[in-house]
A and B are shown apart, each in its own frame.
Chain A
């Protein structure tokens, strides 16, 4: 349990065994007590932790094939079984293929062995037979999805969590039966020819009332013939409602049902997964989630959270950052170009394990909710950091959110969750991103003054703020705390020579020295590539970590104060 001294965010509800119709009276009282004792506002619905990591666990390797007409049936079976087996204790860890987007899934195995002493018993590739022999006892039967209707699998994930069932196809019925699992729900033929809003309405009518109000899963991402439901084990464990409903106004029936669902979730609760690549845009979906003051934890293929969410930090471990100066330190910038490279998506799905890390000062955005949702993963990064790696919080608060989309009356509650997380994770700078009115191609990604005011007020301990993802134009400096936007966005495909020419052009066009060039490095760009780009520049530049960068920028305001203007273009990310 959390304590004020540790600045941890306390578990409130959604533990295994809670009422399926909602929080029990005891849970509510506990929640109220925690709210009063730990934080004055809503806290996160954190999963309960075991006292320590298990001595042994089962490791099941999964194949590269994630097609519905390929290995998805066996993967869905294993992921659902994992969610059930890990309900009260972490027992099953799935070893996803080497190409998996969340690349830390494999290094984390070594970390769990080394730092937590977990001994893994490895099964054969996709070995459902052996897995069922070990863990069928945690299921009450099976739910059969319809191989002809993709969305029936997503509905089956909901039913699996609510009814404690393993997800199977008709081809796997005999296998399940051999382990004592009989069909409880059969979706074959039920949805034939129906559109998704009708399918999910049926699921809503039959299961929604028994699902979690703390977690909703948007089981999107890959669409069509492929599905990568890596986060489904955790959703099943938490008895979440699953859909891939669209936030696109082009799909009014789906959008209406999605709004109905989100409007009934608990304040500041979690939306897991990712929008469907086949239906709507990231901007549309994240904006809608923000409209309800909810928190997006965005990765549909984030694996093994049913396992890792229960593992506490190792005894004595404390999150410590590589600060380069005291919070009240003052620096004086010289008349030269300062560059700071910030990687946002790169912890988990990008560059951490790629060549060059440690070569130059580098700043990494931390997904703050992993402090309670995925502690071993965050401990792995903190312990693996080099002296040149510096961490900051994001994105826009606790989770992925667009501040302009969040109603003002819900903003403070989210900030109240973000502040203690930043303190717990030893983070002093917050990164903000807002694509509710544009993206890096059209519209605007800036903040109005009123929202900048709110950030300064709600995060008074921050050394400063940075804004954007692509470039943006919001700049400020108050009380020695800069609010800067990215001047450059390095895409994955950008060749080294063109990127160097881009930076040369920015340096040429911004003639005053010091010039503060804040650079966002997208996902899987390696540190080695960034170092190569910077090494080609004609004018000498100094590469610094973000805390130093902001302190220098506080000493010489060569950037002009600017906020979003009423006449700025707006594009709703169609």
Chain B
């Protein structure tokens, strides 16, 4: 009981913080301040928080072509995600392996101001199949008005850094 009480308190506090997560909402890519994005000219990231489940919805656009994909992660326990979406995939022949599943771990850091996502995702390559480890941090910066996504790949020599600004009713 002595152990359970602080754990319960922690979970209660965490859920209270995250229920009103400052990351929740629609974020728009700041193209000029981000790593060059290939294949897409616009990217809205829509973050939703429901308890320990976090939805990362990607609204992508290139001219008239639009695509929406959502990765749902769980900060309470590791999860398995089918069709894990990566932004950088079509200018390189690195396709999500058909039927493959991605092991994902997620956690809140920095008092709920950073979401960490780690994924082991199977990739279809011209030589067959390979595994890519992905490490992502979604960090609030500049108050709550901007968000930075830092993404590392086990196979890439440099990080991908994307900056977003919050989409408000007035900025839509």
The contact of B38 among A281, A494, A511, A512, by CB within 8 Å, is A494
Would A515 and B91 count as touching, CB distance under 8 A? no
A509 touches B90 (CB 8 A): no
Total A-B residue contacts, Cβ distance less than 8 Å: 103
Q: Does A171 contact B (CB under 8 A)?
A: no
Asked if B125 and A509 make an inter-chain contact with CB atoms under 8 angstroms apart, the answer reads yes
Complex interface bits, A464-504 against B, C-beta within 8 A gives 1, otherwise 0: 00000011110100000000011111110111011001101
A: contact size bracket: 35 or more
0/1 string, B60-75, CB within 8 A of A gives 1 = 1011110100000000
The answer for the CA separation of A501 and B90 in the assembled complex, in Å, is 15
A365-388 CB contact bits vs B (8 Å, 1 = yes)? 000000000000000000000000
CA distance A504 to B155 in the complex (A): 8
Does B171 have its Cβ within 8 Å of any Cβ on chain A? no
A539, chain B: closest CB distance, angstroms:
11
Which residues of the other chain, A, contact B60 by a CB distance below 8 angstroms?
Answer: 441
> Considering only CB atoms, which chain B residue lies closest to A493 in the complex?
B36
One of B11-19, B50-58, B109-117, B126-134 at the interface? B126-134
Contact B126 A440 (CB under 8 A): no
A573 at the A/B interface (Cβ < 8 Å)? yes
With CB as the reference atom, state the residue of chain A lying closest to B155.
A508
Known: A473-B93, A506-B93. A442 touches B67 (CB 8 A): yes
B172 vs chain A, min Cβ distance (A): 23
Q: Which residue of A lies closest to B94 (CB)?
A: A509
Would you give the 0/1 interface string for B70-109, flagging 1 where the beta carbon is closer than 8 Å to chain A?
0000000000000000000011111100100000000000
A209 CB, nearest partner CB in chain B, Å: 35
Q: Which residue of B lies closest to A515 (CB)?
A: B127
The answer to the question of A320 belonging to the interface, with a C-beta cut-off of 8 Å to chain B, is no
Chain B residue at smallest Cβ distance from A439: B65
Residues of A near B95 (CB, < 8 A) are 473
- The contact of A505 among B39, B40, B63, B156, by CB within 8 Å, is B156
Whether a CB of chain B sits under 8 angstroms from the CB of A560 is yes
Contacts of A475 in B (CB 8 A): 126
Task: Among B39, B62, B123, B157, point to the contact of A501 (Cβ < 8 A).
Answer: B157
A559 at the interface (CB under 8 A from B): yes
CB pair B92–A505 under 8 Å, yes or no, is yes
Query: What distance in Å separates the Cβ of A490 from its nearest Cβ neighbour in chain B?
Result: 8
Q: Mark B148-172, 1 if CB is under 8 A from A, else 0.
A: 0000010111100000000000000
- The smallest beta-carbon distance between B33 and chain A, in angstroms, is 14
Contact with B along A521-538 (1 / 0, CB 8 A): 000000000000000001
A485 and B126 contact, Cβ closer than 8 Å, known pairs A441-B62, A498-B35, A509-B132: yes
* A494 to B124 CA separation, bound complex (whole angstroms): 23
In this complex, the interface size class of chain B, counting residues with CB under 8 Å from chain A, is 20 to 34
Q: Which residues of B contact A27 (CB under 8 A)?
A: none
Question: What residues on B are CB-neighbors of A501 within 8 Å?
Answer: 156-158
Whether B93 pairs with A485 at a CB distance below 8 angstroms is yes
Q: How far is the CA of A442 from the CA of B98 in the complex (A)?
A: 15
Contacts of A489 on B, CB cut-off 8 Å?
38, 90-92
Nearest CB of A to B82, in Å = 14
A441 touches B40 (CB 8 A): yes
CB distance from B60 to the nearest CB of A (A): 8
Across-interface contacts of A486 in B (CB, < 8 A): 93
Contacts of A473 in B (CB 8 A): 93, 95, 124, 126
Q: With A485-B126, A538-B157 in contact, is A471–B92 under 8 Å at CB?
A: yes
Q: How far is the CB of B157 from chain A (nearest CB, A)?
A: 5
Contacts A441-B39, A509-B125 hold; do A491 and B130 have CB atoms under 8 A apart? no
Q: Do residues B90 and A471 form an inter-chain contact, with CB atoms below 8 A?
A: yes
Given contacts A441-B67, A441-B90, A538-B157, 19 further A-B contacts (CB under 8 A): A441-B39, A441-B65, A470-B91, A471-B93, A473-B93, A485-B93, A488-B92, A489-B90, A491-B38, A495-B36, A501-B157, A502-B38, A504-B157, A505-B94, A506-B93, A506-B125, A512-B127, A558-B127, A559-B127
Give me the interface of B with A, judged by CB distance under 8 Å: 35-36, 38-40, 60, 62-65, 67, 90-95, 98, 123-128, 130, 132, 153, 155-158
A residues at B contact (CB < 8 Å): 281, 439-442, 470-473, 475, 485-491, 493-495, 497-498, 501-502, 504-506, 508-512, 515-516, 538, 558-560, 565, 567, 571, 573-574
14 contacts between A and B (CB under 8 A): A439-B65, A440-B90, A473-B126, A489-B38, A493-B38, A498-B38, A501-B158, A506-B93, A506-B125, A509-B132, A510-B127, A512-B127, A515-B127, A565-B98
